[in-house]
């Protein structure tokens, strides 16, 4: 009986790895934790509360935004940040699926 090679959705795995790269910085994790605790927070409150430079905070928020981890909403002159929990859940699902497929392939080999 022939072995069936598991199918891996490379596009979703690539997107997931980009998101994981965005998450792997301790300062970005701290910013995300702060957004999570406050749900709807503007950049001024983030950098003032976390005692960060505005430019550094904006740079890390841009990376999180580009990865799709946070979204923004403008209200007047303020931009508020929100976490995209569904996106994070998708990443966890695809990484878990990839690891399960890898484990199965290793078991089949030996």
Q: What pLDDT does residue 59 have? A: 95
Domain 10-101 = CATH 1.10.10.10: yes
Average pLDDT, the chain: 86
The Cα 73–Cα 45 span in angstroms is: 15
11-15, 67-71, 73-77 — which is least confidently predicted? 11-15
Q: What pLDDT does residue 25 have? A: 92
- 10-58 pLDDT, tens digit per residue, is 777 777 778 888 888 999 999 999 999 998 899 999 999 999 999 999 9
Which run of H or of E encompasses 100?
helix 85-109
Instruction: Delimit the domains of the chain by residue range.
Output: 10-101
Per DSSP, what are the bridge partners of residue 20? none
**What is the pTM for the complete model shown?**
0.75
The Cα 69–Cα 46 span in angstroms is: 16
With contact defined as beta carbons under 8 Å apart, do 2 and 37 qualify? no
Q: What pLDDT does residue 14 have? A: 77
């Amino acid at each position: 009986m022939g072995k069936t090679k598991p199918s891996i959705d490379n596009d979703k795995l690539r997107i997931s790895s980009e998101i994981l790269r965005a998450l792997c910085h301790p300062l970005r994790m701290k910013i995300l934790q702060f957004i999570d605790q406050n749900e709807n927070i503007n950049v001024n409150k983030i950098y003032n509360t976390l005692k960060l430079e505005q430019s550094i905070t904006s740079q890390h928020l841009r990376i999180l935004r580009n990865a799709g981890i946070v979204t923004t909403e403008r209200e007047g002159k303020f931009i508020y940040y929100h976490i995209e929990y569904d996106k994070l859940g998708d990443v966890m699902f695809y990484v878990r699926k990839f690891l399960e497929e890898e484990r199965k392939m290793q078991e089949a080999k030996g």
